Structure 1
Amino acid sequence: MWEWLKKTRQQQDNGESVNEAGLGGSRAAETEESGKEPQADEKAAPAVIVITGSSGAGRKQLAWQLSRELGLPYIRSYTTRGKRPGEEEGQHYRFIDPGQFEAMRERDEFFQSVKLGRGRYGIKGSELRSALEQSGSVIVVVNREGALSFKKVFGARAVRVFIYTTKEDLQVRMEKERVPQDIIMEYMELYTEQVHSKRECEVVLQNREHTETVNRLLQTFKTDK
């Protein structure tokens, strides 16, 4: 799958960056000279299952369960924001301080990174590359900008799955989990803008109940394979 990736390309757009250094293959030079994006095999299994959607909709829990059921690596993002109630190191994110994040960014270690309201987030390129080489497909959880980055690089072999709940269910869920009120308000303010982007994604699922949503995801990707 790597032959159709460009060897080196960096993009900077509204604080979001993509770095493909080290992800290229034998056709990298050819692609750069022609200026054309190589086409992926649309019949092949997705290289990257990109879980995106509205904040607080249960994306990371779904990604973890899907990873277990399909036997695919789930690549966690690195972040500089603080842990929230119920979050654990290595399960939800890889928590690092701003200095560590900046040092990694300067060394071009991130495939994709973005700065959001409460912190910075990034997918480490070497972890992505290693997992793809070993398993052929991976699962990531990113925001809209991250999902667009994966789509630009992987084309048809990146399948974006938009997960959302109703605004009312989101508030009830977060209050039940005792999420701080300022974070609940932040999610409520972001909700409409985030849900509006669902039309960009290949798969859209409302997460009414966890087990039901996992089963629908399994049906989707087992069929695709």
Structure 2
Amino acid sequence: MTDGDHPRPWETQRRGLLLLVSSPAGAGKTSLSRRLVADHSDLTLSISCTTRSPRPGEEEGREYFFLDRALFEERIDAGHFLEWAEVNGNLYGTPAEPVEAALSAGKDVLFDIDWQGAKQIAEAMPDDSVRVFILPPAWDDLSRRLHARAQDSEEVIRQRLALGKEEIAHWGLYDYVIVNKNFDRAYADLAHIYRAERLKPGRNVWLPEFVEGLLAE
């Protein structure tokens, strides 16, 4: 029987990681995150629950699970969420069960998440969490991108820009910071961070036995 008949240990015996990606609205974290997930089969996107209304083009279970406030609050009380926060008058939260199942199966989970949620997850699961913050090259870029989306009213855009300043104020909590001046370059940086973090010894539980075998030969 050849080696190809068996999965290699690094393909089956690893602990997943949580990649927490944050930015102000309009800085590109969602586009970067979705491309990274599309390019890496071991990486899945965490789908959060929210009480806000769907935007044009959003689908239930793809961007979010859309809940009414009463049901969301019931799930808070039941301990359903790994993290939750109220942002701009709406509740957002991450269901805990699918995240924990993915980690145990050696799968990685990417979170497109605000600073409050990233902080809660990193504090609850520090050994599993990697935090990346995406900055715009200039403040005017955020306003231009939000207006170009044509998805929100002028009042909502003003609120999102104000919230963006609060997000940016917490950049120092993150392990890595990327300035999204050029999408392809920013994506390459994000992909390099992800791949490097996968190689850390603590996430590869097969390593001690593997190295012991090498030394025994």
TM bucket, shorter chain: 0.7 to 0.9
Q: In the alignment, what sits opposite 2:215?
A: none
- Would you say the 8 A contact 1:56–1:187 is kept in 2? no
Alpha-carbon distance between aligned partners in 2 of 1:80 and 1:168, rounded to the nearest angstrom: 29
| Residue identity opposite 1:182 in structure 2 | E
Determine the structure 2 residue equivalent to 1:169: 141
**Alignment gaps of 5+ in structure 1:** 1-43
How far off its partner does 1:137 sit? 2.2
* Alignment match, 2:194: 221
Letter matched to residue 119 of structure 2:
L
Q: In structure 2, what is the equivalent of residue 92 of structure 1?
A: 63
How much does 1:76 deviate?
A: 1.2
Question: What SS class does the counterpart of residue 131 from structure 2 fall into?
Answer: strand
CA deviations 1:50-108 (Å, max 9, x no partner) are 01121232222222211122221111110001122343322322111112212222221
Cα displacement (A) at 1:45? 7.5
Moved more, 127-136 or 105-114: 127-136
> In 1, Cα distance between the equivalents of 2:55 and 2:182?
22
The one-letter code sitting in structure 2 at the alignment partner of 1:48 is L
Deviation of residue 46 (structure 1)? 6.5
Tell which structure's C-alpha radius of gyration is larger.
2
Number of the residue aligned with 1:204: 177
Counterpart AA for 2:122: K
Q: Does 1:73 pair with 2:44? A: yes
Tell me the percent identity: 24
Count of residues in Structure 1 that have an aligned counterpart in Structure 2: 182
Structure 2 counterpart of 1:213, which letter? A
1:148 aligns with 119
**Distance of 2:56 and 2:182 partners within structure 1:** 21
For normalisation by structure 1, the TM-score amounts to: 0.74
- CA shift for structure 1 position 158: 0.9
Q: Quick one: higher RCO (CA 8 Å, sep 6+), 1 or 2?
A: 2
For 2:156 and 2:135, how far apart are their aligned partners in 1?
Answer: 17
Verify: 1:56 aligned to 2:26, yes or no.
yes
Distance of 1:86 and 1:164 partners within structure 2? 25
Question: How far off its partner does 1:214 sit?
Answer: 1.6
Cα contact 2:25–2:161 (8 A) shared by 1: no
Provide the alpha-carbon RMSD of the alignment: 1.9
Offset of 1:122 from its aligned partner? 0.5
Q: Secondary structure at the match of 1:73?
A: strand
With the length of structure 2 as denominator, give the TM-score of the two structures: 0.76
Q: Does the Cα contact within 8 Å between 2:84 and 2:94 map onto a contact in 1?
A: yes
